Amino acid sequence: DKDYLIAPSILSANFAKLGEEVDNMLEAGADVVHFDVMDNHYVPNLTIGPMVCKALRDHGVTAPIDVHLMVSPVDAAINDFIDAGASYITFHPEATNHIDRSLQLIKNGGCKAGLVFNPATSLDYAHFVKDKLDIILLMSVNPGFGGQSFIPATLEKAREARKFIDDNNLDCRLEIDGGVKVDNIKEVAEAGVDMMVAGSAILKEPRTKEAYKVTIDAMRE
Ligand code: DX5
Ligand code: ZN
């Protein structure tokens, strides 16, 4: 079935025209705004923070904002993004000393919470916090940069995560991030993923609403 959400990553947006880019991708049919936060410490790149999230809300963005924290430590950033209007907040278990506490902090702030699993990170981290997970996010590249190639072993991991969610009857989205394109999205969906992040595949030249719609429509075919 095609009832997955599509979440373009604004990492590939033109940051000089961010409001316009986000309006265009949403009008083109995107469901969610994927917001990549990098701190030049947990990952070797530096991006955007809570002020930019707040600016998108002030600009009039009402769609869910999916904040993917690639920062360490995480708790202060969680509080800042709750205040900035985030909808979902996910973090990497290796980036906090107290995974359960950080998840609870997100939920106490009224946001949906999730863990992000790097390509080599075991899904075991999910086991004892499963009732706190609204999202399991599988990295299909090593975090830090857009435009990398999909790591094929992630498909097997997605099937394992789907089974975990179904066997435990969890109300939890299975999200994937990295290297998702028109030509591999079908097999990703077949592995049980129901939320697709795609940066460079959607947000590219000629950067028009019409062009974004062509790609997003093709991703739903
Ligand atoms: C990578 C980021 C991704 C990235 C995806 O660390 O978390 O969200 O922007 O970009 P593409 O779709 O180009 O791989
Ligand atoms: Zn991301």
- Give the strand pairing for 112-117 and 135-139: parallel
* Model confidence pLDDT, tens digit, residues 23-65: 999 999 999 999 999 999 999 999 999 999 999 999 999 999 9
Residue among 23, 31, 36, 80 flagged as catalytic? 36
- Name the closest-CA residue to atom 10, ligand 1: 146
- Residue 32 tokens read as 């969610």
CATH of domain 5-220: 3.20.20.70
Residue 11 C-alpha from the chain's centroid: 11
Give the ligand 1 atom nearest the CA of 43: 6
Number of H helices, E strands in the chain: 7, 8
Ligand 2 centroid, distance to 48 Cα (angstroms): 12
Task: Give domain limits for the chain.
Answer: 5-220
Q: Is the CB of 180 under 6 A from ligand 1?
A: yes
pTM of the full structure: 0.98
Distance of alpha carbon 10 from alpha carbon 74, whole angstroms: 21
Copy the structure tokens of residue 134: 């609204």
The ipTM assigned to this model is 0.98
Q: In this model, does residue 2 exceed pLDDT 90? A: no
The chain-wide mean pLDDT, for the chain, equals: 98
Residue-wise pLDDT tens digits, 58-88: 999 999 999 999 999 999 999 999 999 999 9
Catalytic (active site) residue 167: no
